[in-house]
Structures are given as structure tokens and as C-alpha cells.
Structure 1
Amino acid sequence: MPEIIPFNGILYSPELLKSASELICPPYDVISAAFQQRLYGSSPYNAIRLELPLEADPYSAAAERLAEWLQGGELQNDSVPAIYPYFQTFEDSDGVSHTRCGFFAAMRLYDFSEKKVLPHEKTLSGPKADRLNLFRKTKTNISGIFGLYADESKTADCLMKAFTESHEPIVDAHFEGVSNRLWRITDPEIVGQFQQSLQDRAVYIADGHHRYDTGVNYRNERAAANPSHTGQEPYNFILTYLANIHDEGLLIFPIHRLVHSLEGFDAALLKSRLAEFFTVTELHDRAALKAFLDGEPSSYAYGVVTSGMVLGICLKTDPKPLLDPARPEALQRLGLVLLHDLILFRLLGISQEAMAKQSNLTYVKDDREVFDAIDSGKVQVGFVVKPTTVEQVLSVSETGEVMPQKSTFFYPKLMTGMLFNPLD
């Protein structure tokens, strides 16, 4: 596994943490302008003011605010290095409660070519430039990345659960139906057991690819400017939440596709072309579509929603002739790859460039939004997809390839403001 070490986290003061629910926010990439305004109104110390400031120069504003809060005592540095167990309890769409268990540590940054940390999705240049500016100004990890590792013995999980059962959390915050609790472990013996149990295990990035890439770029900048660089400076590490893929609370939700602005789109023609490759089942509504997908074991099963038509489709031919033979088998087994290659590209004529730019394609995380978008008339066709599995994420990562953009949604998102990581 990449080297992980305890670190001196920055946390809100005990007084402010009495109202911790007013201080946290999601990561920057899921915050709309309206949501940003609402978070600003929740507290003058909400982490949105560091993660995504409203000011014209957001990076300088974040740096100045961070310094002010540290000087004023609203934020405080832990005096002893620690790792921080972080548990999120939530309900799925069926009302079943889950608790995802993981921990924050400082993880050494590696180039992907070293195969200690592996990506699974494509990244875009714009977000990386934005986050690099924030790194430069604040010299702090405001939000962490989300990494996965595989340990069937669940050694670290058992250590965390034993500790959390006998200690009160230092942060206990609720946000949009999710309970977020954080603990602090400073005992060197327990920390050493964490480190030892996770040796020789790769980390797979579940969420935060842009922030990880940014961390590598920032490390390279700092190292080049530091004649005394040793490799042990804090900027060589990045704030990382690590969860075991064998944790029962680890869930991946699907991300559905909405197609719009295609010239000459014809829903009836699309249905007839789909019938060349798929068995097509006419369905009545969202509930029937959910039942269809839940009952279909194939990875190549989808829902198709247009105005006045709901279809369940399942591939009836061998997928191999329909896919790029140069792709690794792990990618060919992904339903999203066939959706993109066959339906979006070949049948609907959406180019790879247009998909990357989202010229004709947008993404939603709730199948209800697919039906709402069709009803609004703003979308021509929606594709409801099955969730990618954790095993598929790992299989693709191990090949060195990446999945299509927006392949996975690990729920819930890690909350920004639980703690911060200084890079100086």
C-alpha cells in the first residue's frame, strides 16, 4: 500500500463543533450556485467559505479566511499526529440503514505509473487548474480524496470499530440525512497496527481524481522550489479517506445519462434500431423499469425513457463484435462502455468529443430525474443504468485503463469541514 502516516489535523474549535452540522459542506464539484448561497447562510464559519468561496478571487479569499480562523481560534491544530476514523450512517432509497466505515490519514503521493495508487475514471483539465490554485494559496488540503483498498480480514475495520465503541466522537454532524462522526486515534501502537495491516495493498481512487492529480502537481512544484527537499515534507502527502471494499456499508449508486439537442432525433427510429441488438420490453412506468433492471442479471441491460415510452432493453447478441477489441476485457464487461460505444456513438451519432464536452449529454444520479427531465421536454431520451460494482472498479483500475467519465457515484460524499490537512 502507499505509505500512510498520522498527521496533525486542523479542526474546528470544540465550541464551534457543538453546532458541527452548520459547518460542513459537500465537495466543490457537487455544489450548485444556489446551494453555495444556502451554505453561506448556514454559518459564518461553514467550510464552503474555504472550499468554494464566493469572492472574485476565491483562492486568496480562502487563504485569508483560513489564516484568520486559525489566528482567532475558530480552527485549531491538533498537537499530536493522529489518524481519524470517519463513519457515515445513511439510508438507501429503500429505507435500509447503512454505515460506511473508514479513516482519514495522510497518504504519500505517487505517480500513477508506480501502480501504488490507481485511478478508475477520466479527469478534466479545468477542475485540476482550479484546485491547484487553491492548494497554492491555502497550502492546505481543504477536502480529501476517497480511496479504496481490499482486505478480506478487515483488520483495520476491527481496530476502528473497537476504538469507536469505547470513545465519543470529536465531531458529530448531520447533513441532508447523513450522520457524520469523526474520532481521533493518537496511540502510536494502534496507528502502527493500522499501517502494518494495510501494507502491500494498492489504493484505488473512488472519488477525488482531480484533487489527487492536483496533489501530485503541487508536490512537484514545491519539491522543485525547495533546495532542501527530502521527500518527508507534508506536501508529499495528501489528505485521504480510506475504506475497505469489503465494508458492508460501501455502496455505489448509478449515474444515468440524459441526451438532448440532437438534430432529427426520432424515438420510434431509435426503438427499431435498438431491437437489432437488444430484446425490447415495453414498460408502464418507473416502478416497472426498476423491477426490470433489478431482475436482469446482465450488465448490458438498460432503461430507455422518451416522451410517452418506457423501455427495458437487454443485449441479445455477443457483445465482443460490438466493442473495441483493443480494450481490456475488464472494460468490455462494463455496461456503460457498451452504452457509450453502441447506443450513444453508433446509434445516436454522439462523438467521443461531444461526450467529453457534454455537448449532447448530461448526467443525473436519481432515476426520478430522468423521468422529470423527459416530462419537462428539455431532454430527448434518458438512459437508466445499473450501478457499477466495486469489483468492476478494481478490475478496470488494475488494467491501467479508466472507465468512461461519470461511471460511479460513491454515496454518500465525504463532507468537507470534518478536518483539514496542512501542507506546510
Structure 2
Amino acid sequence: MAEIKPFRAWRYHKKYTPEIGTLTSPLFDVVSKKQREALYHNPINSIHLSVPRGETPARNAAQLLDFWKKEKILHQDELPAIYVYYQYFRLPGSEKEYCRKGFLCHIKAYDWNEKILLRHENTIPDAVNDRIALLEETLLNSSATHGLYGDPRFQLEDLMDEAMRDPVYETEDYQGARDTLAIIQDAKVIQQFISVLKDKQVLLADGHHRYEGSLEYRKKMMAANPNHTGQEAYNYHLMYLTNSEADDLRILPTHRLLEKLPITVADFLQKLEQYFVVTPKEDPYELNEVIAGKKWAFGLYVDGQAYKLRLKPEVHDQIDWETTPEVKELDLTVLHYFVFERVLGIVSEAQRNYPGLSYVRNFTECITKVDSHTAEAAFITNEVSMDQVKRVCYSGAIMPQKSTFFYPKVICGFLFSSIDPNEFASKIDSCF
């Protein structure tokens, strides 16, 4: 099953520890344009490696990385380690403080058909190509993907709690979450992490594009190496692993925005009534509340008017996509099949790259963009549950793209992991 390894992280020189909060950055696929521009003003912010700029962004990142290493802005830890990473956060309307506990390590970049690492949603090709190019040029994982392993006995939590008594970093991020990092370098303790994961499957929660970039790079290197052993640096990928049995995993909804309807609004509403009960609502800012907890229910905001859509149960069996019952039951499958394919005529494959279709987590932003005519229609959705993610993964199927938004997002900048052969191996790797 899942093979994990400790690694020697590249981290900011210790003189930068007091200002580590100014060096972190959001993941490449969630950073806003405004955030991005502000972060670029700091010449040593991690965004220059994770979301590089210029006509040749990947090459620029590689050159900058070399410079940072030479100038000792970054240094590599002497010993391989497991890096414990906790995120403390609250959700709107709640006073409870959650703590998502996990750890960063290297994991073998398993092909999907090996059934060791399981995905739950599709990727968008252009985003994968960008990640491959960046990895090829820098040989660096600038941000971790997020994976889930199931351990109902919670065998690693006490070890992580003990390490977290002496964190090396603690800061508040752009989401308002408090991020803390601790280091485990004790070989016996690390071996316990390896042992717990060795009989586990891992569900990929977040970072499908980054993981697929590592997977494609591994395939390319394997094909070019007649002496491939499976232990080369290119076989591994940086991952943040959390226990799927914990109560602090939160998934937020991802709404859909359509820049332009391919049919008139009048025709759109008329066709929707073939499949949905369409109920006008006065206040668009209550759409997320009127659908909360309701199966196959959506909010629609178009042409200044809000509607609640509820699928007519008798039409559900019309879904003819070749997928599993677990996927057909999902709200987002209903939305993408009946609204985008049947009503708007955008077939399933075309939806992945459909121009003007975007995915937005912020509910208020959806309403604002329709009001400002930046988008013509907003589709408000409920969140996917952890149980649904598990059932889809174990069924061997995948959800529609951008189905989940695990919260909070992992941040970039605490550490980086190298797959440069000259930096990957350690003298004490034989211990693991």
C-alpha cells in the first residue's frame, strides 16, 4: 500500500523565522489577482516559486531558486524528517475552534490504476501542463497536495501532539487560520508513521493538478531510464496527510459561474422546468440558506432574479452517464447533467474546458459578479460530505471537476521538497 518517506526540506534561513508569515502564500489555484500582486512585492515571498511570472515562468522560478540557494535565503535540513502541520480555524457563525492535524512527507507517485492513491475528481488539462513544466524546471515541490488516510485508532495523533509542543513556525495566514509547523527527526518515531501508512490507501483530497503533474513527470523519467528501480527521486511527491476519521475535516461548497448562457434567459428558465421545480426567491443573498441540507437543490441567480431549483425525483433515473450509482447520487452530478448538458447543451467532456465557466467558493462573490454583469448566471451549491467523498473514491469513480473545497487550504512557504537527485538522498535513508 502507501509508501511514504521522510525528507530533507528546504526552508527559509532561520534569520527569516520571525517574519515567516510574510513569506507564505496561498496555493496557485486559489490565490486571487489582488493577493498575488501584493505578494509579488516581497522579493523573497514563496509565491515567486509556486506561481512564477514572466514569459517563461517555470524557467524564471528555476533561476530564482538557484539564486536563493546560493545566497542562503533557503537552506536544506541536515536530517530527513516528518513535518507536523496543524491548522487552527473557525467557521463563519461558529465559536468553535477546529484543529486539523496532519504531517508532510514524501509519498510514492502512484499511478491511478494501482488503486493505492485514489482521486475523486477530474483535472483541467491546462492546469496540469503548467504544473509539469514547473516541476521539470525546478525539480521542486513548492506546495503540498492534501491526502487522507483512514485510521480509526488515531495511532499518530499523540506523536504529532508531542512534536507540536515545540513548533518551529507559528503564524496566521490569509484565511485567518493559525498555521503551526513542528519537526520529527527521531528515526524510531518516523518509522511508526511509515508503519501506519504502509497498509493504507490514500484519498487525494486537494491538489489533483499538482499530483498529476508529478505522476506525468514520473512516467516520463521512467521511460527514459532503462535502469529504473522505483527509488529514484522522481518517484516521489510532497503530500500533507490527515486522518479522514478526525472531526476537524471540513469541506465547503464550490459554486459555478457562467459568463454567458448559450441560450436566452427565457428559454433557459422554460427548459429548466422540465426537470426542476423552479421557485422564485426575493433575496439572492439567502439562496445558500434555502437550499441548505436539501438533496438535489440549487440556487440560481440570473438576470437580477433569484430562484431555488429542486430536481423532480422521478427524472433522476434519466442520468445516462457511464458512472457509478455513488456519483449519480451527487448534487453536482445532477447540476452538471441536467442543467449544463440537458438544458444548456454542453456535453460532459466539453464542460471541463468550457469558456466562461468558473468555480467560485465565495457565495457573495457569485451574486456580486452577476449584478455587475461580469457573469450572467450563478449556480449555488451545497457542500459534498466526507462520506460521499469516501464512497465515490472507493467505488473507483470520479466526481465532476471542482467538486470539493477542503478548508482551510494548505499554505505555501513553510517548506519545499526537492526531487533533485543530488539533494534527495540521505546517508541515513537505510533507516527507513
Q: TM-score, normalised by structure 1?
A: 0.92
1:158: which partner in 2? 158
Structure 1 residue 354 displacement after superposition: 4.1
Q: Report SS of the residue matched to 1:30.
A: coil
Q: Report SS of the residue matched to 1:262.
A: coil
Structure 1 residue 390 displacement after superposition: 1.6
Q: Return 414-423 or 320-329, whichever deviates more.
A: 320-329
In the alignment, structure 1 residue 303 sits paired with structure 2 residue 299: yes
Q: Report SS of the residue matched to 2:352.
A: helix
Unpaired stretches in structure 2, ≥5 consecutive residues: 422-432
Matching of residues 201-220 of structure 1 within 5 Å: 201-220=200-219
Separation in structure 2 between the aligned mates of residue 28 and residue 118 of structure 1, nearest angstrom: 22
Separation in structure 1 between the aligned mates of residue 349 and residue 275 of structure 2, nearest angstrom: 25
Q: Retained in 2: the 8 A contact 1:354–1:360? A: no
Q: Report SS of the residue matched to 1:184.
A: strand
Matching of residues 321-400 of structure 1 within 5 Å: 321-324=317-320, 326-400=322-396
Structure 1 residue 286 displacement after superposition: 4.1
Separation in structure 1 between the aligned mates of residue 312 and residue 261 of structure 2, nearest angstrom: 27
Separation in structure 1 between the aligned mates of residue 108 and residue 139 of structure 2, nearest angstrom: 16
1:279: which partner in 2? 277
Separation in structure 1 between the aligned mates of residue 82 and residue 30 of structure 2, nearest angstrom: 26
Separation in structure 1 between the aligned mates of residue 412 and residue 40 of structure 2, nearest angstrom: 14
Unpaired stretches in structure 1, ≥5 consecutive residues: none
1:406: which partner in 2? 402
In the alignment, structure 1 residue 421 sits paired with structure 2 residue 420: no
In the alignment, structure 1 residue 22 sits paired with structure 2 residue 18: no
Structure 1 residue 321 displacement after superposition: 2.0
The one-character-per-residue Cα deviations of 1:273-331 (angstroms, maximum 9, x if unpaired) are 4344333443322453233222x442x11112223422223223235422116321110
Separation in structure 1 between the aligned mates of residue 312 and residue 216 of structure 2, nearest angstrom: 46
Q: Label 1:47 to 1:192 Cα distance change in 2 as closer, same or farther (>3 A).
A: same
The one-character-per-residue Cα deviations of 1:48-96 (angstroms, maximum 9, x if unpaired) are 1111222332222212221222222211111111101111122222244
Q: Return 382-391 or 94-103, whichever deviates more.
A: 94-103
Q: Label 1:79 to 1:382 Cα distance change in 2 as closer, same or farther (>3 A).
A: same
The one-character-per-residue Cα deviations of 1:244-274 (angstroms, maximum 9, x if unpaired) are 112222111111112232244224x544443
Q: Retained in 2: the 8 A contact 1:85–1:103? A: yes
2:264: which partner in 1? 265
Letter in 1 for 2:110: Y
Letter in 2 for 1:140: L
Letter in 2 for 1:66: L
Separation in structure 2 between the aligned mates of residue 74 and residue 7 of structure 1, nearest angstrom: 19
In the alignment, structure 1 residue 312 sits paired with structure 2 residue 311: no
2:189: which partner in 1? 190
2:179: which partner in 1? 180
Letter in 2 for 1:8: R
1:253: which partner in 2? 252
1:171: which partner in 2? 169
Structure 1 residue 182 displacement after superposition: 0.8
Q: Report SS of the residue matched to 1:158.
A: helix
1:149: which partner in 2? 149
Separation in structure 1 between the aligned mates of residue 375 and residue 66 of structure 2, nearest angstrom: 46
Q: Report SS of the residue matched to 2:241.
A: strand
Separation in structure 2 between the aligned mates of residue 275 and residue 107 of structure 1, nearest angstrom: 48
Q: Return 321-330 or 202-211, whichever deviates more.
A: 321-330
Q: Retained in 2: the 8 A contact 1:322–1:342? A: no
Separation in structure 2 between the aligned mates of residue 308 and residue 44 of structure 1, nearest angstrom: 43
Q: Name the Cα RMSD after superposition.
A: 2.1
Q: Retained in 1: the 8 A contact 2:284–2:301? A: no
Q: Retained in 2: the 8 A contact 1:265–1:380? A: no
Separation in structure 2 between the aligned mates of residue 353 and residue 135 of structure 1, nearest angstrom: 27
Separation in structure 1 between the aligned mates of residue 224 and residue 347 of structure 2, nearest angstrom: 42
Q: Retained in 1: the 8 A contact 2:3–2:197? A: no
Separation in structure 2 between the aligned mates of residue 29 and residue 372 of structure 1, nearest angstrom: 21
Aligned residue pairs, count: 418
Separation in structure 1 between the aligned mates of residue 309 and residue 323 of structure 2, nearest angstrom: 24
Letter in 2 for 1:7: F
Separation in structure 2 between the aligned mates of residue 331 and residue 56 of structure 1, nearest angstrom: 40
Q: Label 1:325 to 1:214 Cα distance change in 2 as closer, same or farther (>3 A).
A: closer
Q: Report SS of the residue matched to 1:46.
A: coil
Q: Label 1:263 to 1:101 Cα distance change in 2 as closer, same or farther (>3 A).
A: same
- The share of aligned pairs that are identical, in percent, is 34
Q: Label 1:324 to 1:52 Cα distance change in 2 as closer, same or farther (>3 A).
A: same
Structure 1 residue 228 displacement after superposition: 4.7
Q: Retained in 1: the 8 A contact 2:250–2:406? A: yes
Q: Return 317-326 or 390-399, whichever deviates more.
A: 317-326
Letter in 2 for 1:402: I
Q: Label 1:264 to 1:297 Cα distance change in 2 as closer, same or farther (>3 A).
A: closer
Letter in 1 for 2:135: F
Q: Label 1:306 to 1:183 Cα distance change in 2 as closer, same or farther (>3 A).
A: same
Q: Retained in 1: the 8 A contact 2:263–2:344? A: no
Q: Retained in 2: the 8 A contact 1:84–1:105? A: yes
Separation in structure 1 between the aligned mates of residue 250 and residue 35 of structure 2, nearest angstrom: 24
Q: TM-score, normalised by structure 2?
A: 0.90
